[in-house]
Amino acid sequence: MPSLQDVTRGRVLFGGDYNPEQWPEEVWHDDVRLMKQARVTTVTLGVFSWAKLEPRRGAREFGWLDRVMDLMHEHGIGVVLATPTSSPPPWLGRLHPETLPRDEDGHVEHWGSRQHFAHSSAVYRRCAAAITEDLAARYAHHPALTMWHINNEYCTYDYGDEATNAFRRWLRERYGDLSTLNSAWGADFWGQVYDTWEGVLPPRRTHYTKNPAQVLDFKRFTSDALMECYLAEHDIVRAHTPHLPVTTNFMPLWQGQDGWKWAAQEDVVSVDLYPDPKDAGAGQYAALVQDLTRSQAGGDPWMLMEQAAEPVNWRGVNHPKPAGLNRLWTWQAVARGADAVCYFQWRQSRQGAEKFHSGMLSHAGEDGRTFREVRQLGAELAAVGPEVAGAPVPAEIAVLHDWESWWAGQQEGRPSSLLDHAELLRAWHRALWEANLPADFAHPAHDLSAYRMVVVPHLYALTDTAIENLTACVRAGGTVVCGFFTGVADGDDRVRPGGIDARLRALFGIRTLHEWWPLDADERVDCDGFTGTLWSEELAADDEAVTVAAYRGGELDGLPAVLRRGRAWYVSTLPEPDALRDLLRRAATEAGVRPPPADLPRGVEAVRRGGLLFLLHHGRDEVTVPLPGRHHDLLTGETVDGAIALGRYAVAVLREDAHPAGSLRVRGHQPPPLE
């Protein structure tokens, strides 16, 4: 299968979405001049160009795109060509209203924005296939073409009639007959039993709480229906260019697609990432998304398809990035496995909904700070990128995450509406990030044997296979640290007898779960040595369990807050951040996870990729990092002897002098052999 490495050829790609159709042609020449200055190696074309390519039904206007493709080739810039199918032209919705999606109230989502396509509309699919076919046929052999980008950020839910029929077909395939569906949906509750397939609906507006299993299946179905759209276009371009990789860009930590299933269908996994510069936790959040994307790519290099050079325009208040932050976050992505770092978009628009969204080339032009920083970054990536491109990011810890559990768990009618799957992932990943413990993500049923420690922040629903995978992990000598409200339901969202699955209770040494005790937003619960938030549990331990920390005071006084049975730990509250970090560090040390570089000042992130050590300083005050031995900083060309001073948003890419690439040692610890 073609891969990102076929495109990068040993470099880290740099570039962005390029929308030349918004500009007169003379500007294109200025664009390439400045792209060359910024060492841009790749652009993504055509993402929203359907109306320009097919201004009337069946018409084709490729001339402008021919000229852009030629221009890119002339200047040695590779093109990731997008199928424009995320924004159908106005004529399609006008002539075929059934191509427009409907929300749960039946309201139509019209053209005039983007993403207004009904995924199960036969006409939409036919028209999308036709334009894709013609694009692929026309540019298959164009020398600028390096990769295909299908659609853009698939995310549209549709509750309309064709989607309803498709949902029924999907359900028939899953359940075969209505009585199996009724059983899986628990339809006896509130008398929802179906007597005909025609009665089955998407979870449209209801008076009161919806059937949770129906909602879960609708999310599964929507992810699959969108994936059918993706695969239809994928297959078309694949047939024309079997040698070129195909991707579609994910949104970061986005609920709407089963990211494991989808990633398996991509040659290159790519993501769009827009942390808020004002958010103190932005660097940690970015690290999470980067680790997840790398893991979706099976550890292979991945592509940061979009980031913002400066502010976005879709938050309430849109903050620019202080000088240096764009560089820091870009190198962070490279440190965590990206071999392509790109932006939305090359040139900031003057019109349209995103005219206040930054570009690599902002309204301030080539003398503006944004472009000056972009130019510097491009030069650095050109120089240092080849030292790191293609190298793996080793990790001995896996964090388990599953979209289906997210869909099942985050619904109405739960013990606490404050429980947020993504926020819990963030809290636990942040604890690992602060301990500088590198981690991959994994699906609960993946082979976990390569990891010394498995961390389960919160997986409300677990299948039998996943549960057996976890127990097998501990039997094989691994460590499992598991967060609360996990293993509560099976794959159909049916509560497991006893409230937590019996195999998990045995694994962790829980005799009985008496009750969940969720906490209010401002409530804290005292535990030995720390306070907990969000959640607590009334648990009885069995004789095999050791209480690591008990609740103190209140109703749960003396009951276990954290307990373990050998290498299996269970954490029944959300410890405050430092306590969670210390707990994971302790479990990792016991598990034999290679210790991270020690003595790192707070806010300094250390990541190993291949034979290099990246130091990324997320703070503003100068700090000194002790670094035994002599190192060579590839960015400055300087030798680092014993310690390195890092100023605001500093980045260092270090190779230990005394050792050849691939055997970097930090504070005396050898990295594990790379897979």
- For the chain, counts of helices (H) and of strands (E): 18, 26
At 371, phi and psi to the nearest 5? -70, -35
DSSP code of residue 155? -
Nearer to ligand GAL, 153 or 373 (CB): 153
Residues 6+ apart with CB under 8 A from 285: 275, 279, 426
The answer to the question of residue 102 lying near ligand GAL (CB under 6 A) is: no
Q: Applying CB under 6 A, what is the total number of residues that bind ligand GAL? A: 10
The answer to the question of residue 312 lying near ligand GAL (CB under 6 A) is: yes
The answer to the question of residue 116 lying near ligand GAL (CB under 6 A) is: no
Q: Which amino acid is at 168?
A: R
Rounded CA-CA distance 304/7 in Å is 14
The answer to the question of residue 346 lying near ligand GAL (CB under 6 A) is: no
Please, what is the minimum distance in Å from the beta carbon of residue 534 to ligand GAL?
30
Question: Among all chains, which residue has been given the structure tokens 């947020």?
Answer: 420
- Interacting span for ligand GAL (CB under 6 A) from 305-313, 324-332, 468-476, 651-659: 305-313
Rounded CA-CA distance 605/534 in Å is 27
From residue 357 to residue 386, the character string flagging contacts with ligand GAL as x (rule: CB under 6 A) and all else as - is x-----------------------------
Of 192, 502, 170, the closest CA to residue 183 belongs to 192
Rounded CA-CA distance 52/139 in Å is 16
Nearer to ligand GAL, 155 or 513 (CB): 155
Considering only 109, 162, 217, 306, the residue that binds ligand GAL (CB under 6 A) is 306
The answer to the question of residue 535 lying near ligand GAL (CB under 6 A) is: no
Rounded CA-CA distance 214/203 in Å is 7
Please, what is the minimum distance in Å from the beta carbon of residue 18 to ligand GAL?
12
Nearer to ligand GAL, 8 or 86 (CB): 86
The answer to the question of residue 433 lying near ligand GAL (CB under 6 A) is: no
The answer to the question of residue 493 lying near ligand GAL (CB under 6 A) is: no
Site for ligand GAL in 265-294 (CB under 6 A): 272, 274
Give 26: exposed, middle or buried? Use CB within 10 Å, 0-12, 13-18, 19+: exposed
Structure tokens at 437: 């413990």
* Residue 153 is among the residues annotated as catalytic for this protein: yes
- Interacting span for ligand GAL (CB under 6 A) from 306-314, 472-480, 563-571, 575-583: 306-314
Catalytic residue among 54, 109, 153, 605: 153
Nearer to ligand GAL, 354 or 490 (CB): 354
* Residue 306 is among the residues annotated as catalytic for this protein: yes
Considering only 31, 54, 153, 402, the residue that binds ligand GAL (CB under 6 A) is 153
Long-range contacts of 237-242 (CB under 8 A, 24+ apart): 237/83, 237/132, 237/135, 237/136, 237/148, 237/150, 239/136, 240/136, 240/137, 240/140, 241/136, 241/140, 241/145, 241/148, 242/2
Please, what is the minimum distance in Å from the beta carbon of residue 313 to ligand GAL?
7
List, in sequence order, the alpha helices (H) in 489-609.
502-508, 577-591
Considering only 152, 257, 469, 533, the residue that binds ligand GAL (CB under 6 A) is 152
The answer to the question of residue 50 lying near ligand GAL (CB under 6 A) is: no
Active-site positions read 153, 306
Positions in the binding site for ligand GAL (CB under 6 A): 152-153, 272, 274, 306, 308, 312, 344, 354, 357
